[in-house]
Amino acid sequence: MNDVEKPVRSPCVHVCALDEQDVCIGCQRTVAEITRWGRMDNAERREVLQLCLERARASGLLMTSS
C-alpha cells in the first residue's frame, strides 16, 4: 500500500492577470503564493487555497450561501 500523499493541485484556471493588489484575478493567489507554490508542502497549499476562497468571497466572485 502506498501512503504517499498526492500533491494538492494548483488552483490556476489560466486567466492570469494581476489586480491592483497583485492578486491574480483567475485563481486569487498573490504573486508570492504563485511563485512559491512549487516549493510548498500540501499543508501550506491548503492554507493558500483557503485564503484564495476568502479573497474570492470578499471580492464578490463567489456567493456565500445563507
DSSP class per residue in 1-54:
---PPPPPPP---S---B-TTSBBTTT--BHHHHHHGGG--HHHHHHHHHHHHH
Whether 64 maps to a domain, the answer reads no
Q: Which three cell numbers stand for residue 64?
A: 456565500
Q: Check residue 2 and give its pLDDT.
A: 62
Q: Which three cell numbers stand for residue 51?
A: 485564503
Whether 3 maps to a domain, the answer reads no
Whether 44 maps to a domain, the answer reads yes
> What is the count of structural domains for the chain?
1
Task: List the pLDDT tens digit at each of the 66 positions of the chain.
Answer: 567 899 999 999 999 999 999 999 999 999 999 999 999 999 999 999 999 999 999 988 887 665
Range of the domain at 19: 10-59
Whether 19 maps to a domain, the answer reads yes
Whether 49 maps to a domain, the answer reads yes
* The pTM of the whole model exceeds 0.95: no
Whether 65 maps to a domain, the answer reads no
